[in-house]
Structure 1
Amino acid sequence: MYAIGLMDQGNIDTREPVLDIVDRVSELCFGLFMALTFVGAVSAVTAGEGAGRKMFYTALGCNLAWGLADAVMFLVRTLTNRGRRLRLALTVRHEPDAAAGVRALRDALPRWVAPLIADTELELIRARIAAIPDLPQRPRFLRADMVAAAAIFLIVVSSTFPVALPFVVFSHVPTALIVSRALTIVILFGSGIALGRHSGFGEWKAGLAMAALGVLLTMAIIALGG
């Protein structure tokens, strides 16, 4: 909803790309941690024939539910943020006092950006918004929003398989647990490398940090009986 995003009419009724590398990795890690925690908890109370399949389907059902909830909340967040941008644009457009319009734009800026943008620059943005002939009256969903929500759902659900599938492949539950946790740590390491490359923090450092986080979480699950 920042001033730069309000400079073009199309930006007012669109969303910023949500599924960048950070979003994809975050959703993947969320699904991994959910499945890992659930599998660990269920393994502590599940035994006997078919225990592995029970854990797999239970973890899959858990992530199906959470993937759906996450996708729906993304849509809610998207429409809410778009509504805030549109309200700001309409306020600026209908404000007869140019100075008041500039103040409205400045109030919408994040604190770290505000000192970097002069009022003269905001006035140019205000004038462009005021000149837009056909602002929408209410925010609406776009097809891209639905695609992004579906992608979030699929990422969360697909993250179940490396964690839970070993319980179907291996009949020996302790072996399946080891394989499941090892795969989780490997995926977290790869996710950390991707985040490190994106942020410039250092690929290997970020990868090791994410893997260490996975080890700590695994240790916590074991300590809690998983």
Structure 2
Amino acid sequence: MSTITSVGHAEHEQREPILNTVDRVCELCFGLFMALTFVGAVKAVTAGEDAGYKMFLAALGCNLAWGLADAVMYLVRTLADRGQRLNLALTVRREGDQAAAVRALRDALPQALEPFVEDADLERIRARLAAVPTLPVRANFVRDDFVGALGVFLLVVLGTFPVAVPFLVLNDLTTALIASRILTLAMLFTAGFALGRYTGAGGIKAGFAMIALGVFLTIAIIALGG
């Protein structure tokens, strides 16, 4: 399949999963970290029968706002990446000098892959691009982009609930805080485990590393006034 499928209709048919494992883990952890900043300051909540309810609403409101911002930035990043690929394809097609076109393709390669790609490989890509009848004038959104943005929003918001729900169902704030922290640590371990398995770094080791990272980031965020 030609590399031009990254900017044409065939891209829609062969695109990667809307959110890969790294995307899902990072967005979920982001939601957990944001909610944890409120739980870390739970002692500042005015005591009373509705203290837990206020804590839940505060954490949920924060993650609704950040989930929306993160979803919008996901769309911006997606369109920018697609536009960059389209611009490269158009540049290669317009370039009359084949050697210059190959250099443009080489310059776009990730640094880690560049030594393993021969000019002959890039020339085949250039020839395929030249053979494509038409290219889009500009990068546009596709339906899956908005599905991905919704997924980002939901992951960030859902990160609230393991942290904040105990404050709704338990009357004692101290007990709710302990339950909240246990649930959060369990979710961080699960997220790290999934990320470790995905990257080959080892699930259990990555799970505990994610817990340590979560604790460190939460302390830092609260200390900085977050």
TM-score of the aligned structures, taking structure 2 as reference length: 0.90
What is residue 62 of structure 1 aligned with on the other side?
Answer: 62
**Which moved further from structure 2: 36-45 or 185-194?**
36-45
Q: 1:133-173 CA deviation, whole Å, 9 max, x = no partner? A: 11101000000001010011011111100000111111111
What is residue 6 of structure 2 aligned with on the other side?
Answer: 11
Change beyond 3 A, Cα 1:115–1:87: same
Q: 1:60-98 CA deviation, whole Å, 9 max, x = no partner? A: 010000000000000000001100000000000011110
What is residue 107 of structure 1 aligned with on the other side?
Answer: 107
What is residue 165 of structure 1 aligned with on the other side?
Answer: 165
**Corresponding residue SS for 1:191:** helix
Alpha-carbon contact 1:40-1:221 (below 8 Å) kept: no
Unaligned runs of 5+ in 2: none
* Alpha-carbon distance, 1:118 to partner: 1.0
Alpha-carbon contact 2:35-2:163 (below 8 Å) kept: yes
* Alpha-carbon distance, 1:45 to partner: 3.7
Q: Distance in 1 between matches of 2:182 and 2:42?
A: 18
Q: Distance in 2 between matches of 1:9 and 1:92?
A: 11
Q: Distance in 2 between matches of 1:46 and 1:81?
A: 46
**Which moved further from structure 2: 210-219 or 164-173?**
210-219
What is residue 179 of structure 2 aligned with on the other side?
Answer: 179
The code of the aligned residue for 1:120 comes to A
Q: Distance in 1 between matches of 2:113 and 2:221?
A: 42
TM-score of the aligned structures, taking structure 1 as reference length: 0.90
What is residue 133 of structure 1 aligned with on the other side?
Answer: 133
The code of the aligned residue for 1:93 comes to R
Alpha-carbon contact 1:41-1:221 (below 8 Å) kept: no
Report the count of equivalent residues. 221
Change beyond 3 A, Cα 1:223–1:146: closer
Q: Matches of residues 8-87 of structure 1 in structure 2 within 5 Å? A: 8-13=3-8, 14=11, 16-41=16-41, 43-87=43-87
Change beyond 3 A, Cα 1:207–1:130: same
Change beyond 3 A, Cα 1:12–1:225: closer
Q: 1:14-36 CA deviation, whole Å, 9 max, x = no partner? A: 46445111110110000000001
Alpha-carbon contact 1:41-1:225 (below 8 Å) kept: no
Change beyond 3 A, Cα 1:111–1:149: same
Alpha-carbon contact 2:3-2:125 (below 8 Å) kept: no
Change beyond 3 A, Cα 1:80–1:218: closer
* Alpha-carbon distance, 1:184 to partner: 0.3
The code of the aligned residue for 1:32 comes to L
* Alpha-carbon distance, 1:219 to partner: 5.7
Unaligned runs of 5+ in 1: 1-5
